[in-house]
Structure 1
Amino acid sequence: MLKIGIIMSTTRDSRFAEKPAKWILDKANKHDSIEADLIDLRDFDLPFFNEKATNLWAPSEDARAVQWQQKLAKYDGFIFVTAEYNHSIPAVLKNALDQAYLEWVRKPAAFVGYGGVGASRAVEHLRGIVAELQMAPIRETVHIGGGEFMKVSPMGDNQEMSAIDKIIGPKADDLLDDLVWWADALKAAREKSSPKYKAA
């Protein structure tokens, strides 16, 4: 079984993230090849990045950053459930990405975006960031936008995710299948990689 971490990108009191995150978590755990966990950034009191360097070059000194790195190290891939803030990703997510390096390297990244345009601009920014972290951003993506977003958002009808599952569910299935392919391939390759890119 592949260990997949599903990361919620926001920590606001009024965040919407739980709804789509729990929806994709449920789908992931029904997949034959996946054992998925929800990773809530609220559970990690991460400071703003203030290390001497990324942990590729020097061990992190802040215990909170080390705890975050240890959490990430056990996963074979990640699904980022992201909002869009001013055409980009939430600051807490960017900081969380910056607080690790080795733990991201050579693992696949998939995306579930939500908001007016399905967080499409945020996802595109996120693709560039994870590529710099030597992750493999996969093509298949779920965008929950427009009318579908308003059906399930508290700003709209606030229905359950099941109300739009027929529309976005097939794309989620494609995402999970693609994620499994990449996670399998990269896991095998990582096992033969140099120690430089192996997380502690």
Structure 2
Amino acid sequence: MVKIAVVAGSTRPGRHSRQVADWVLRRARERGGATFDLLDVADFNLPLLDEPMPPSRGNYQHEHTKRWAAAVNGYDGYLFVTAEYNHSVPGALKNALDFLYAEWNNKAAGFVSYGSAGGIRAVEHLRLIVAELQMADVRAQVSLPFATEFQGYAAFTPSETAEQALQALFDQLISWSAALQAVRA
């Protein structure tokens, strides 16, 4: 069975990342076709990248890195839930990605983003980042603008359009996650 992690990528107080990630996880589990878990970057308390060796060497020195690597390694694909901060990726998510290398290789990546413009610029940056980590990103994505998906900036209320887009994203992410198992074998 394909295993996919929904990665909540913001650690900011008052973040929407968990609301959105919880919605994604609920819908994923209702849909089936894979096993889905939540990886919340906030739960790992990663400092700014402090490993003395490049992650591509796989020689992790710190316990927080080893714990993060063990959590990430067991999945076939990742669905990144990202905010858009200043036209890019939250620093905590970029840092979490930068801590590891081989654990991300030859796995699938999908994106659910949110922000004033739906987070699309953050996803543009994430696509470049995951490519360097040797991940295959799927085309389908979910973009959640504050104006239409969040009532008064606080309560996340996904539209029918977002619900449909999420199903298309699941279809592609599950397929690619399964296909890449053969590449890693």
The equivalent residue for 2:128 is 128
Gapped regions of structure 2 (runs ≥ 5): none
The equivalent residue for 1:95 is 95
Q: TM-score, normalised by structure 2?
A: 0.94
The equivalent residue for 2:15 is 15
Q: CA deviation at 1:152?
A: 6.8
The equivalent residue for 1:141 is 141
State the one-letter code of the partner of 1:123: V
Equivalent residues of 1:16, 1:153 under 8 A apart: no
The equivalent residue for 1:190 is 184
Give yes or no for the alignment of 1:175 onto 2:165: no
After TM superposition, the structure 1 = structure 2 runs for residues 12-161 of structure 1, keeping only pairs within 5 Å, are: 12-151=12-151, 153-154=153-154, 158=155, 160-161=156-157
Q: SS of 1:93's equivalent?
A: helix
Q: CA deviation at 1:33?
A: 1.4
Q: SS of 1:147's equivalent?
A: helix
Q: TM-score, normalised by structure 1?
A: 0.88
Q: SS of 1:53's equivalent?
A: coil
Give CA deviations for 1:35-86 in whole Å, capped at 9, x if unaligned.
Answer: 1111111210212112233332241101101100000011110000000111
Equivalent residues, number: 185
Give CA deviations for 1:4-50 in whole Å, capped at 9, x if unaligned.
Answer: 11111111121111211111101111223111111111210212112
Moved more, 89-98 or 46-55: 46-55
Q: Distance in 2 between matches of 1:150 and 1:46?
A: 29
Return closer, same or farther for 1:6/1:80 CA change in 2, 3 Å cut-off: same
Q: Distance in 2 between matches of 1:32 and 1:84?
A: 29
RMSD: 1.4
Q: Distance in 1 between matches of 2:91 and 2:25?
A: 23
Equivalent residues of 1:115, 1:149 under 8 A apart: no
Consecutive aligned runs of 4 or more in structure 1 exceeding 6 Å deviation: none
Q: Distance in 1 between matches of 2:54 and 2:67?
A: 15
State the one-letter code of the partner of 1:46: L
Equivalent residues of 2:55, 2:98 under 8 A apart: no
